[in-house]
Chains A and B, each alone.
Chain A
Amino acid sequence: MKFRLFLLSVSLFIIYGCSASEPVTRSQPQLSTPAPADPSVDFSEMLEPPQDWHHLDEDRTRFRGISSQLAYEELLKDRSPEQRVIVAVIDGGVDINHEDLKANIWTNEDEVPGNGVDDDENGYTDDVHGWNFIGGADGQNVDNDTFEVTRLYAKLHPKYADADTTTFTPAERKEYALYKKVENEYRYQINKQLEQYNNIRSLEQSMERADQILTDYFDGNYSYEDVQKLQPTDQQTAFAQNVMSYVMENDIDSTLIAEQKKQLYEFMKYSYNPDFSPRDIVGDNYEDPSERYYGNSDVTGPDASHGTHVAGIIGAIRNNGTGMNGVAGNIWIMPVRAVPDGDERDKDVANAIRYAVDNGAQVINMSFGKSYSPYKAEVDKAIRYADENGVLMVHAAGNSSENTDKKENYPTDTFGDYFNGDTSAKLWLSVGASGWHPDSAYVGSFSNYGDHHVDLFAPGVDIYSTIPGNKYKRNQGTSMAAPVVSGTAAVIMSYYPDLSAAQVREIIMQSVVKYPEQMITLPQSGPGDAQMVEFGTLSVSDGEINLYKALQAAEEMSSR
């Protein structure tokens, strides 16, 4: 599943936060002019950061960005990039005609567009701008798909629901253990989604009622300040004040509610539906996980919102007076479509990685993940292939607020068993999401973490980037953090082409900014008392990526 942050289940007493979404058409970039650190910046009053906060430098602006703006202004101003780096974006699709991406979309020069011939004989016909592994040769596309837990439930439930466990073979006992785990999670998710839907409807009804009460009270429109100043003398007004305060503080509106309800509906209709199977659209022999050549050339697909946002973070055209700036300037984005609205399939992930490697990608961004990987062996082979060919793989850690040292998140760099595998890929970076609050809320409350499985953090909260149709939007998730790292890697590679991927990885890891005194509210997925932990315990590197420092380190390494 793409790591898009979902929000809010509201009971009468507990509230989750949500991301703000502001689709904007054709905006001018709102750049912050670097200035000396401003002690008057009051993060506690700030509802949202500048659109380019993730590019900013903390010493200058107090925002914990990756100092990319400063890097371009100081370290790279008199330099020209020496190579154009290809960054593969394995995702749900990219809007390759977006005004702020188009010029940076990779083109397969060896392929003649639309002639129906595999001109470069790479196995994929008319792969002019990448490939789509979740489409059929007839041009149809998979949009929604099931979650892996649903597929496993559909496969194992008929076999084990009423089985006599006393007669099991050792292999059946092992599979039965998997079935129980899957069944528990499937049941939990169904109940949870139902509860969330009911809570959202309840909130919606409460909002309508509260709005009516306050509209009558104020005889028309009212502001947040008006609501705060209220001194209710009856239950009805007190109720309305509580509800609307929450709604306004969290930017909840009818659009957001509608989006959430639709998402839950699609989860239940497709992703958690054991009878739903769109794989016929692809037309491959799904039982053959080693099959390589299937799909079509439509790299945009029916829903390119997530992939386009990721692509923009990496390489939206810089300084063109439009939209926003990607981290990297001199790159090609290679869209590889393999992630539906649902969970990606291991076969498609493996083939997407191979395609990227075989067609020249130097960095692969993977802003997706799931909790089960039934054909992990195939994905392992593909990751090994990328590793052996010197391609850096950047993976989003996930948005379940979980410790990935204890809870599986696939794909992973560890070969074989997730917890007990004794070898792993060398060219892998797993990325958690950091935010713009320089306090206990510094790590995204949704972000996975892991002292062994998460390598570093990168900005992934309130990230403004491209979405289909020449629009722009803020999103948050480790999906947004990973491309910050991919873009950083691409910048280093483009200015220091002689550095290997392993060296680039080492540079990124060693040049992170650490906050040894920073205590963090540990992300948690359920109720319970909040725990405070040191930021440094949440990742291997103990820090956040920083392009400025990485370039300094790259310079030093190149000079040796």
Chain B
Amino acid sequence: MKSHKIVRSTLTLLIALLVLDGTIHAQSTENEPVAANIAEHLALDHQLDEIPEDIRLQFEQNPLQLPAAENSQLITAFKDAYNDSLLLHDFKSAFADSLTPELSGKLQDWLQRESTKRITDARQSFYTLDGKRNRVITMYEMEQEPPSQDRVALTQSLTDTTSVVESTVESSVIILRSMIEAVNQISTQRTFPDSQIDAIANNFRTQIQGQISRQYANQMLVLFHPVDSATIQDYIAFWGTETGQQLDQYISHSIRQAYEAASQRFMESVSTD
């Protein structure tokens, strides 16, 4: 009867695993609306596209001086792989997988607060057509009449409170690396050994670190221009809480997951071409 016990215990374990797996997927499915809500309210759907777009624009100018056809192939494959719908889908999936019911509930409550709504309205508006128009107006007017040091310090502390800079740097490195590796696949004239790719990536990381920190701080000055300082302080305080730190961690993780998935798609595309 020994074998019968082993089979039954194995079966029990398998069933337990199946149930557990099913629970996780059920939670993931339940969490997707929360993930979508977070992505929308924090305008992450727009932000996901920003880094790939920057890198695409630079490589569109063919800085490696590839033959036109090769560069065109590279850019087309990049655009397909880093498509914003796919990025958002992968982000939401990864984020949903991270959420627990308890955290979901806390985040929903946080989003409903009036002060949070003032922040999320500003974030969403930033990416609308009118928001883009107003960005130029705000940037120019801020150059003519710079904001107070207190205001600058406030938005700087927002930059320092989250991992957004580090996340952006690492995301940029992931995307750049994928571009260089793709060049290796496509180009008949240019090849980069792994050691050189590592060196380029590290050099790039060093170069952009300070730049991204400054850019983010400036962007926050513009984005939160219509928001009062008290609301921003409240927002900063949230990110210092356990809930805020978890949210920050899961957002960074999910963004990286989305870019890594895109990078994978990109490499698969150029490898089969």
**Residues of A near any B CB (own CB < 8 A):** 11-14, 186-187, 190-191, 193-194, 197, 201, 261-262, 264-265, 267-269, 272-273, 527, 529
Contact = CB atoms under 8 A, between A and B. Distances in A.
A194 B140 contact: no
Given A13-B62, A194-B135, 18 more contacts: A11-B57, A11-B58, A11-B61, A12-B61, A12-B63, A13-B58, A187-B129, A190-B133, A193-B133, A197-B135, A262-B140, A264-B136, A265-B140, A268-B133, A268-B136, A268-B137, A269-B137, A527-B60
B137 A13 contact: no
B60 A197 contact: no
B139 interface: yes
A265 B133 CA distance: 9
Interface centre among B58, B60, B140, B141 (most CB of A within 10 A): B140
A529 B133 CA distance: 31
Interface string B136-175: 1101110100000000000000000000000000000000
Contact of A194 (B57, B61, B68, B136): B136
Interface of B: 57-58, 60-63, 68, 129, 132-137, 139-141, 143
Q: Say whether chain B's binding surface is mostly helix, strand, loop, or mixed.
A: helix
B63 A191 contact: no
A551 to B, nearest CB: 49
A327 B138 CA distance: 44
A193 B136 contact: yes
Given A201-B139, A262-B140, A529-B68, A194 B132 contact: yes
Contacts of A191: 132
Given A201-B139, A265-B140, A186 B68 contact: no
A529 B67 CA distance: 12
Contacts of B141: 265
A253 to B, nearest CB: 17
Given A201-B139, A529-B68, A273 B61 contact: no
Contacts of B140: 197, 261-262, 264-265
B51 to A, nearest CB: 14
Contact of B61 (A13, A190, A272, A529): A13
A312 B140 CA distance: 33
Contacts of A201: 139
Nearest to A14: B61
A193 B135 CA distance: 10
Given A12-B61, A13-B63, A527-B60, A272 B133 contact: yes
Given A12-B63, A13-B63, A14-B61, A265 B132 contact: no
Contacts of B135: 194, 197
Interface centre among B58, B132, B143 (most CB of A within 10 A): B132
Contacts, number: 47
Given A13-B61, A14-B61, A197 B133 contact: no
Contacts of A265: 136-137, 140-141
Given A13-B63, A197-B136, A261-B140, A190 B58 contact: no
A503 B133 CA distance: 49
A274 B236 CA distance: 34
27 contacts: A11-B57, A11-B58, A11-B61, A12-B58, A12-B63, A13-B58, A14-B61, A186-B129, A190-B129, A190-B132, A190-B133, A191-B132, A193-B133, A193-B136, A194-B136, A197-B135, A197-B140, A201-B139, A261-B140, A261-B143, A264-B136, A265-B136, A267-B136, A268-B134, A268-B136, A272-B133, A529-B68
B213 to A, nearest CB: 14
Interface centre among B58, B63, B137, B141 (most CB of A within 10 A): B137
Contacts of B68: 529
B204 to A, nearest CB: 12
B42 to A, nearest CB: 21
Nearest to A197: B136
Contacts of B137: 265, 268-269
Nearest to B63: A13
Contacts of B57: 11
Nearest to B141: A265
A216 B73 CA distance: 43
A343 B4 CA distance: 87
Contacts of A527: 60
B214 to A, nearest CB: 9
Nearest to A187: B129
A156 to B, nearest CB: 14
A20 to B, nearest CB: 24
Nearest to A239: B207
A186 B133 CA distance: 11
A273 B58 contact: no
Contact of A273 (B60, B133, B139): B133
Nearest to A183: B129
Nearest to A193: B136
A146 to B, nearest CB: 12
B242 to A, nearest CB: 37
Nearest to A191: B132
Contacts of A12: 58, 61, 63
A190 B135 CA distance: 10
A190 B143 CA distance: 20
A397 B191 CA distance: 47
A527 B62 CA distance: 11
A443 B129 CA distance: 35
A24 to B, nearest CB: 27
Contacts of B63: 12-13
